[in-house]
Amino acid sequence: MSDEFYLKRCLELAALGLGSVNPNPMVGCVIVADGTIIGEGYHQQFGKAHAEPNAVQNVIDRYGNDAENLLKQATAYVNLEPCAHFGKTPPCADLLVKHQLKKVVIGNRDPFDGVDGKGIEKLKNAGIEVISGVLDEECRHFNRRFFTRIEKKRPYIILKWAETANGYFATKDGHQKWISGALAKRLAHQWRTEEDAILIGKQTALMDNPQLTSREFPGKNPVRLVIDKNLQIPLSNNVYNSAAKTIIFNEVKTDVVDNIHYIEMEDMHFYLAQKIAFQLYLMDIQSVIIEGGAHILRQFLEADLWDEARIFTASNSWNEGISSPTINGNLIEQIGIGKDQLSIYISNSNK
Supply the pLDDT for residue 28: 98
Beta-carbon contacts of residue 53 (< 8 Å; ≥ 6 apart): 41, 89, 92, 95
Supply the pLDDT for residue 173: 80
Supply the pLDDT for residue 351: 61
Binding site for substrate: which residues? 192, 212, 215, 291
The low-confidence residues of the chain, meaning pLDDT below 50, are none
Supply the pLDDT for residue 281: 96
Q: What ranges do the domains of the chain cover?
A: 3-148, 153-347
CATH 3.10.20.600 is the classification of domain 3-148: no
Supply the pLDDT for residue 85: 64
Q: Would you name the residues annotated as active-site residues?
A: 52
Q: Report the distance separating Cα 169 and Cα 178, nearest Å.
A: 10
Alpha-helix residue ranges (DSSP H) falling in the chain: 3-14, 51-63, 67-72, 92-98, 118-125, 136-142, 144-152, 182-194, 202-208, 272-282, 294-302
Cβ neighbours of 10 (radius 10 Å): 31
Supply the pLDDT for residue 22: 87
Binding site for Zn(2+): which residues? 50, 83, 92
Binding site for NADP(+): which residues? 162, 178, 204, 208
Binding site: which residues? 50, 83, 92, 162, 178, 192, 204, 208, 212, 215, 291
Q: Which residues pair with 278 in a beta bridge?
A: none
Q: 84-128, pLDDT tens digit by residue? A: 866 666 789 999 999 999 999 999 998 887 677 889 999 999 999
Supply the pLDDT for residue 130: 96
Q: Report the distance separating Cα 175 and Cα 296, nearest Å.
A: 18
Q: Report the distance separating Cα 263 and Cα 254, nearest Å.
A: 5
CATH topology for the 153-347 domain: Dihydrofolate Reductase, subunit A (3.40.430)
Beta-carbon contacts of residue 77 (< 8 Å; ≥ 6 apart): 3, 6, 7, 9, 10, 29, 30, 31, 32, 104, 105
